Amino acid sequence: MLKTAEIVQQLSRSQIFRDYETAFNQATELPLAFRPHELWQHALHGKKNENPFCALMAKSNRSCAACLQVQQELIEGEPGESTSSICFAGLCDTAVPVNVGGDIIGFLQTGQVALRKPTEVGFTKVAQQLIAWGVKVDLNELQDAYFHSKMLSREQYGAMVHLLEIFAKHLSVMANQILVEQQNEEPPLITRAKNYIGEHQAESLSLDLMAKTLNVSTFYFCKMFKKATGLTFTDYLARTRIERAKNLLLNPNVRVSEAAYDCGFISLTHFNRIFKRIVGKSPTEYRRNLRAA
């Protein structure tokens, strides 16, 4: 079973996400990340349109820890709802959950945006906090970055978050499709078993022989085969042989007994019984109907 982080990674590499990310970056001038539920680093660090102030903060362990605390607050919000959090510098980040069923597999994250105009008073408080933490930073460079933070009204920012909520629904559908496809993938063991049956169906095949051939226990093989195919090994083998028999019976020169033995049945009576159970009519009736068609 794929882990949620692997599903997020697969989706983040998809063409639809890359196209959306590019369009979102260009339209909003904000960074965007699709992050798994658990993440121990800055989701937006290194992303296009990353706030230069946040990039500077990521260089210091103490300020970095404060940013990671914001990320933790984002994922601890109301389950299934978009959550926003304001950092110590007054910048807003938002995480939009992507769900599969009732489970959150990851978040679309954006932000590093000022919802109020940066002020000298605000920067002084930020600088004092950093000094108190012992963060060493060029205050002139930091001030320039602080005042060049992207600023939006709450209404504008809310509209952009809504776009992410719509896209999150699309990603949820895609994630569900990935899970369904993964669940429907046939285990290699079963593929090998089917191939072997197809190549040796005319021979004497037993459950013990199949398990030995595949180097697994009989119990494990029975369990896996039934889970993957919905049929027991015996029923699957019988149906495979009957399908071959139906093809042989298309040839009027092949006798019913020849078809039976050629497909691996050692008893004509057994062949007739299995054929009728699976096809709904005897081999002779089946052939007669073919001629009448």
3-state SS track over 153-172:
CHHHHHHHHHHHHHHHHHHH
Mean model confidence pLDDT for the chain:
88
Q: What is the pLDDT of residues 104-140, one digit of tens each?
A: 888 999 999 999 999 999 999 998 998 888 888 888 9
> Chain-centre distance of CA 143, in angstroms?
42
pLDDT at 39 over 70: no
pLDDT of residue 157: 95
Contact 271, 260 (CB under 8 A): yes
What is the token pair recorded at 123? 């920067």
Q: What is the pLDDT of residues 42-64, one digit of tens each?
A: 888 889 999 999 988 888 777 77
Length in residues, the chain:
293
pLDDT of residue 233: 93
In whole angstroms, give the CA distance from residue 64 to residue 285.
Answer: 79
pLDDT at 40 over 70: no
pLDDT of residue 214: 92
In whole angstroms, give the CA distance from residue 16 to residue 12.
Answer: 9
In whole angstroms, give the CA distance from residue 5 to residue 51.
Answer: 26
**More confident position, 280 or 76:** 280
pLDDT at 182 over 70: no
Q: At what angle do helices 61-75 and 120-133 cross, to 10 degrees?
A: 110
The full set of domains in the chain, from first to last, is 4-184 (3.30.450), 188-292 (1.10.10.60)
**More confident position, 192 or 72:** 192
For residue 97, which of 8, 191, 202, 230 has the smallest C-alpha distance?
8
pLDDT mean over 79-91:
89
Long-range interactions of 24-27: CB distance < 8 A, separation 24+: 24/110, 24/160, 24/163, 24/164, 25/49
